[in-house]
Amino acid sequence: DAEITQSPRHKITETGRQVTLACHQTWNHNNMFWYRQDLGHGLRLIHYSYGVQDTNKGEVSDGYSVSRSNTEDLPLTLESAASSQTSVYFCASSPELAKNIQYFGAGTRLSVL
Amino acid sequence: DQQVKQNSPSLSVQEGRISILNCDYTNSMFDYFLWYKKYPAEGPTFLISISSIKDKNEDGRFTVFLNKSAKHLSLHIVPSQPGDSAVYFCAASALRAGANNLFFGTGTRLTVIP
């Protein structure tokens, strides 16, 4: 079955370290998104991509970067992790025809100590 | 500034009764609305959606109502079941403007009491 997977599911890191969260989907969706979920804020968009080599900043993009070298993957990199980036991160993808129905991965819980 | 608001952080309902979850939005460009359901340790899953050309969409026990003049939508679950206990997120987008991005509310935790 086609799916979207995130790894790792849990990560603990130290302030200042570079961290990369993986997102892989097998639906062949062009659109991919990264969100963070924090208490009192719901899900907030970090970065998104509408296709290979396309990346765009979302609402809370500072301190994060993404790259899209193929259709299946959109890794999220924290260049220098900060305690404020402790959160649950969700990756999502959507097909062209039903663009606004996004399908989510199970999430990565990141703790920055 | 939160463009999509869910003002009730939690709701408790008896099994078999109706659950009504509310959502308000501020951006008049929003024309497509979705509800997602989220269980602990899982990602949000799509539940139901509605376009601004409609005022109601129904799917089994789930109905979404849209009041464009009030910039308000609601999700009705009838009858409520214990398995419906989850966090429900309202989301909105400006589909006609070509924006694929979703703006989410802060969520409402629904507890259905057996």
Model pLDDT for residues B34-75, shown as the tens digit of each residue: 999 999 999 999 999 999 999 999 999 999 999 999 999 999
Beta bridge partners of B106: none
How big is chain B by its Cα radius of gyration, in Å? 14
Report the alpha-carbon distance of residue B7 to residue B44 in Å, rounded.
Answer: 19
The predicted pLDDT at position A98 comes to 60
Contact B104 A94 (CB under 8 A): no
Report the alpha-carbon distance of residue A82 to residue A14 in Å, rounded.
Answer: 8
Question: What would the mean pLDDT of A14-39 be, rounded to a whole number?
Answer: 95
Q: Which of residues 47-76 of B touch A (CB under 8 A)?
A: 49
Q: What is the pLDDT of chain B when averaged over all its residues?
A: 94
Question: What would the mean pLDDT of A32-59 be, rounded to a whole number?
Answer: 93
Among B43, B49, B104, the residue with its CB nearest the CB of A101 is B49
pLDDT at A2 over 90: no
Question: How far, in Å, are A77, A105, B20, B110 from residue A61 at the CA level?
Answer: 11, 19, 34, 31
Report the alpha-carbon distance of residue A32 to residue A22 in Å, rounded.
Answer: 12
pLDDT at B101 over 90: no
Under 8 Å between Cβ of A52 and A68: yes
**Pairs of residues, one from chain A and one from chain B, whose beta carbons lie less than 8 Å apart:** 57
Tokens 């008049």 belong to: B28
Report the alpha-carbon distance of residue B85 to residue B39 in Å, rounded.
Answer: 8
The predicted pLDDT at position A40 comes to 82
Q: Virtual CA dihedral for A93, A56, A88, B83, nearest 10 degrees?
A: -30
The predicted pLDDT at position A22 comes to 98
Among A40, A101, A107, the residue with its CB nearest the CB of B43 is A107
Query: Is the pLDDT higher at A71 or at A100?
Result: A71
Q: Which residue of B has its CA nearest to A103?
A: B45
pLDDT category at A42 given cuts 50, 70, 90 is confident
Contacts of A104 in chain B (CB under 8 A): 36, 43-45
> Which candidate in A43, A44, A45 is best for mutational testing of the B interface (most B CBs within 10 A)?
A43
H/E element, B59: strand B56-59
Q: What is the pLDDT of residues B84-96, one digit of tens each?
A: 999 999 999 987 7
pLDDT category at B2 given cuts 50, 70, 90 is confident
Among B41, B43, B107, the residue with its CB nearest the CB of A42 is B107
Contact B49 A45 (CB under 8 A): no
What is the distance in angstroms between the CA of the first residue and the CA of the last residue of chain B? 38
Q: Which residue of B has its CA nearest to A102?
A: B46
Among B32, B49, B104, the residue with its CB nearest the CB of A43 is B104
The predicted pLDDT at position A68 comes to 97
